Structure 1
Amino acid sequence: MQDAILRKLFLGFIQIHILHHAAKAPFYGAWMIEELAHHGYDISAGTLYPILHNLEKADLLQTEKQVVEGKTRKYYCITQEGRQTLAAAKEKIAELTHEL
């Protein structure tokens, strides 16, 4: 039971982390896997891409295709809805950390 709850919490942290970086600059999936690894999240492409697709379906992210070294790469960018969601999450995080 505890593992399931921690998994849900970490999924939320990962989603906020994704939105945070998308607000800074467009990114591609392999870069995000490396970025999350720097923060202790061991996440595979098979886990990350469904998260990205769900954020896209929720209109929090959008994609742009760019050709890099002859290959098409999909970049993820934050939407206005994503910016609003990230701002609300930051408020709740600040409130919680202040309380803890």
Structure 2
Amino acid sequence: MLRDFFLGSIKIHILYHAEVEPIYGAYLMEELASHGYDISPGTLYPTLKSLHDNGLLNKYEETVKGKVRKYYTITEEGKRVLEEGKQQVRELALEVLEDDWRNKDE
């Protein structure tokens, strides 16, 4: 169950970075690891494919140092979903952490 929760968080994280700049798998692995996510290529690449297949990411390819690299950018639908995700995260954090803040004052 916890894995499902983290996968949802990772998807929001991916959409956020795709809104900021074009992203690719190896970059995302490093970025997510810097936030404590231990994600394997076997999880990341199907997640990127799913986000693309669902119209949330655009994909294009470029050759970098002789290898084809797939880049992803956010779509308009992806931006809409990201904004909804941000709102849900905000509401969840306020509700869940409210008790922590309240208990610190007691």
**TM-score, with normalisation over the residues of structure 2?**
0.86
Q: Does structure 1 residue 38 correspond to structure 2 residue 34?
A: yes
User: Who is 1:51 aligned against?
Assistant: 47
1:27-76: CA deviations, max 9, x gaps? 11011011111111111111110000010111001111112223221101
Q: Does structure 1 residue 87 correspond to structure 2 residue 88?
A: no
Instruction: Give the Cα–Cα distance (whole angstroms) in 1 for the partners of residues 53 and 69 of structure 2.
Output: 19
User: Who is 1:22 aligned against?
Assistant: 18
Instruction: Give the Cα–Cα distance (whole angstroms) in 2 for the partners of residues 51 and 32 of structure 1.
Output: 11
**TM-score, with normalisation over the residues of structure 1?**
0.91
Gaps of 5+ in 2: 97-106
Partner SS, residue 54 of structure 1: helix
Instruction: Give the Cα–Cα distance (whole angstroms) in 2 for the partners of residues 54 and 90 of structure 1.
Output: 20
Q: Which is higher, the Rg of structure 1 or of structure 2? A: 2
Q: Percent of pairs identical after alignment?
A: 53
Instruction: Give the Cα–Cα distance (whole angstroms) in 1 for the partners of residues 16 and 28 of structure 2.
Output: 11
User: Who is 1:9 aligned against?
Assistant: 5
User: Who is 1:68 aligned against?
Assistant: 64
Gaps of 5+ in 1: none
Q: Detail structure 1 runs of 4+ shifted over 2 Å in the superposition.
A: none
Q: Count the aligned residue pairs.
A: 96
